[in-house]
Amino acid sequence: MPRSSHAEKIQRVNAAFDLLAKGHTLAEAAPLLSAESGSSLRQAYRYLHEAQGIKRPVPVTAPTIPITIKVREDVVAQLRAHAHDSGLTIGEVVARAVVKWLAREHRGG
């Protein structure tokens, strides 16, 4: 069986969290999770143990892909400073800016 993607793992840990939150014991939840996710019983227990260590479901984010762009040196310096000050990655700052810009362009603004 192929390895689960990061997003699939998060979804399975969240499903385990939901089962535990509903009051299922580990012994009750493991076969349910195994059947639901198509994973082994042993792996279901791993997901359940991981779910016991979280306080709420983990957000599932879309996968990212690397891209290469050329940007003026002064813009890069400002971008790096803004990312550092905001606590975000450069990629997240750029992605948020592009999403805002595309939304504005789509509206015709």
Cα of 8 vs its chain's centroid, Å: 10
Q: Is residue 11 part of a domain?
A: yes
Are residues 42 and 80 both part of a single domain? Answer: no
The pLDDT tens digits for 61-89 are: 878 899 999 999 999 999 999 999 999 99
10-46 b/e (C-beta count within 10 Å ≥ 16 → b): bbbbbbbbebbeeebebeebbeebbeebebeeebbbb
Are residues 11 and 40 both part of a single domain? Answer: yes
pTM of the model: 0.60
Q: Which domain holds residue 31?
A: 6-52
The pLDDT tens digits for 23-67 are: 999 999 999 999 999 999 999 999 999 999 999 999 888 788 999
Q: How many domains does the chain have?
A: 2
Q: Is residue 61 part of a domain?
A: no
Are residues 77 and 48 both part of a single domain? Answer: no
